[in-house]
Amino acid sequence: MTVDRPHVANLSLSDPSRPQPGRANDEEADRSENAVLTAYLSHLTSQGHQVQRHRVVTDPVLESTDLFDATAHELVMACHRTHYLALISALGVLSDCARFFGPTRRALLLTAVPSPAAREFLSHHGIVAIWPEGESFARADPAAEADRA
């Protein structure tokens, strides 16, 4: 089933993040992505951020982004893997879904510290990398890195 007009479907903050409709069953990825999304959502709301849960409805076989941090104007998608094909896929999804949110930064929420190659890839494409670090989250922001250069 294809949706003629893609749109954003708003979800409640308590709606489960995983599994996403149309995505192949991957219990390990679903479990780790759901855990990091839940923790990041809690982190953002504790910081006073206005966060929206959503799904961009295009075609049931396509993945979608997960959170929109309206305070920071950041579109966030969780990703369990950082091999090349996973990063290419995330880049495509983030780039396509960003058009529904106006001027926004794109961010990939990872379940672990990204490798230098993954960070370089994301930075080159202007994507913020975010990952858990202790009780908080670390981030590599290409805009901030460019300002320091």
Q: Say how many C-beta atoms besides its own lie within 10 A of residue 7's C-beta.
A: 13
Q: What are phi and psi of 147, to 5 degrees?
A: -65, -30
DSSP 8-state code for residue 61: T
Q: Which amino acid is at 28?
A: E
Q: Which helix (H) or strand (E) segment is 75 a member of?
A: strand 74-79
Q: Is the pLDDT of residue 2 over 60?
A: no
User: Which top CATH class is 48-148?
Assistant: alpha beta
Most confident of 9-18, 62-71, 91-100: 91-100
Tokens read off for 45: 């709301």
DSSP 8-state secondary structure symbol assigned to residue 35: H
* pLDDT given at position 6: 74
Q: Give 47-80 pLDDT, tens digit per residue.
A: 999 998 887 777 665 667 889 999 999 999 999 8
pLDDT of residue 12: 73
Q: Give the distance from CA 97 to its chain's centroid.
A: 10
Q: Which of 40, 126, 134, 118 is nearest to 81 (CA)?
A: 118
Range ranked top by mean pLDDT from 19-28, 31-40, 119-128, 136-145 = 119-128
Give dist(CA 84, CA 68) in Å, integer. Answer: 24
143 vs 122, which has greater pLDDT? 122
Amino acid letter, residue 145 = E
pLDDT surpasses 80 at 101: yes
Indicate whether 1 pLDDT > 50: no
